[in-house]
Amino acid sequence: MPVGTAYTRTETMLLPAATDGRFTLFVVTDALDAVYEYTNAGPNFATPGHFVDIVPRPYADLVVESVIAAATGSNGLPLTLSWTVANRGIGQTSTPEWTDRVYYSPNADGTGLVLLQTFNRVGHLAVDATYTRTVDVTLPVALATDVYLYVQSQGPYEFIYNDAGNTGRSDRVTLTYIPPPNIDLTVTAVAAVPTALDGQARDGARVDVTWTVRNQDADAAEGSWTDIIFIAPNGDRAQKIEIGRFTVTQGLDGGRSYTRTENFALPLHISGVYEVFVMTDATRVVAETNETNNDPALGAELTIALTPRPDLTVTAVNAPATVTSGTVVDVEWIVTNLAVTATPSGGSRWYDGVYLSLNSTLDGGDRLLG
């Protein structure tokens, strides 16, 4: 290429499938360093001077444009909140449904957010269209400081614009603190009884669990809360397994108790000694004077045995010692259930396979004949 000359080239290139993002495009000359340039160490590349956006389809850009909350509120009481969301993208939302989340925080800079409630949005949102929603949200009973309310709207495909614009903030809500009632829910008794005729708990079988919850403080617990029933191997609650949950709706006066019995299915393929225990108000919706005793060190021991199962074994195989290549081979086999338990009835079926192996070991390299 003579000194001072130039060339212009235009190429159309196929982008890799599913490419998505904001890129910087570089053109590099002598990309394989075939031309010896000695001390001319200047850059062999250039860019168009702008980003190249590669998008698989037109995108939405949800922006929470306003969040308006009542100027004052009280802990444990409803507060009116409204917000407006706009689509400032280049296409309608990719999904017809997403979630708006409402948070609270004592900070105006968006730190320390605590989820308060979620609300489903149903229906596509066209370009430059908006929607406004007004709801009542209940501030936590234990809340004692002024707060800001935040609304976050996201879910549809937004290219690179799933950013700060998806969240809006209200002005400060001045809180009038109302001391919460004195409530203390705790579990006072747990019992577990297998329902099998022989009294043995087995994996996949059912047990009756009875538990008692008492409100140990003076005031009534109102509203609803959830009791969750767990089993823990050898009493190790860090490995607990949930086997059921129930919602309590009748409330509970101070100094009173309720007892409930429910039937639960145990998980499959477990055995050994387990602790059955209950956590009352497991989702922490009731503000209590003591939040540490909702699942006290109180449980019922349950020994779980494995349910007897079939044991299918190929007990005989007959096949010729020599077969001509390209012809057929006759194979006869006998399958015996060596256990004391029958295979399940009602649609129980399985496949037998015949394989050829070069090393007398059944492994992944064998050839399946049928």
| pLDDT tens digits for range 276-318 | 999 999 998 888 889 899 999 999 999 999 988 888 999 999 9
Among 66-75, 320-329, 345-354, the range scoring the smallest mean pLDDT is 345-354
Mean pLDDT of 44-61: 91
Confidence of residue 347 (pLDDT cuts 50, 70, 90): low
The pLDDT of residue 42 is above 80 = no
Least confident piece of the model among 41-45, 87-91, 253-257, 264-268: 41-45
- For residues 57 and 345, the model is more confident at 57
Alpha-carbon gap, residue 68 to 82, rounded angstroms: 5
The residue type of 53 is D
SS3 238: helix
pLDDT over 80 (residue 72): yes
Q: How many CB atoms lie within 10 A of CB 295?
A: 20
Q: How far apart are the C-alpha atoms of 120 and 133, rounded to whole Å? A: 11
Instruction: Look at residue 134 in the predicted model and tell me its pLDDT.
Output: 97
Q: Which domains does the chain have, with CATH numbers?
A: 62-176 (2.60.40.10), 185-305 (2.60.40.10), 308-370 (no CATH)
Say what the pLDDT of residue 309 is. 83
Mean pLDDT of 183-194: 96
How many C-beta neighbours within 10 Å does residue 39 have? 5
* Average pLDDT value for residue range 229-238: 96
Q: What is the pLDDT of residue 207?
A: 96
pTM score of the predicted model:
0.61
Which residues, in sequence order, are bridge partners of residue 361?
Answer: none
Confidence band (pLDDT; 50, 70, 90) for 344?
A: confident
Position with higher pLDDT, 208 vs 2: 208
pLDDT of residue 43: 82
The two tokens of residue 197 are 């005729």
3-class state of residue 59 by DSSP: coil
The residue ranking higher by pLDDT, 295 or 4, is 295
Residues 320, 332: Cα–Cα separation, whole Å = 10
Q: What is the pLDDT of residue 251?
A: 93
Q: For all residues of the chain together, what is the average pLDDT? A: 92
Q: Are the CB atoms for 170 and 113 separated by under 8 Å?
A: no
Check if the beta carbon of residue 280 is closer than 8 Å to that of residue 293.
no
Reading phi first (left if > 0) and then psi (alpha if -120 to 50, else beta), residue 291 is in: alpha
Mean pLDDT across the stretch 118-142? 94
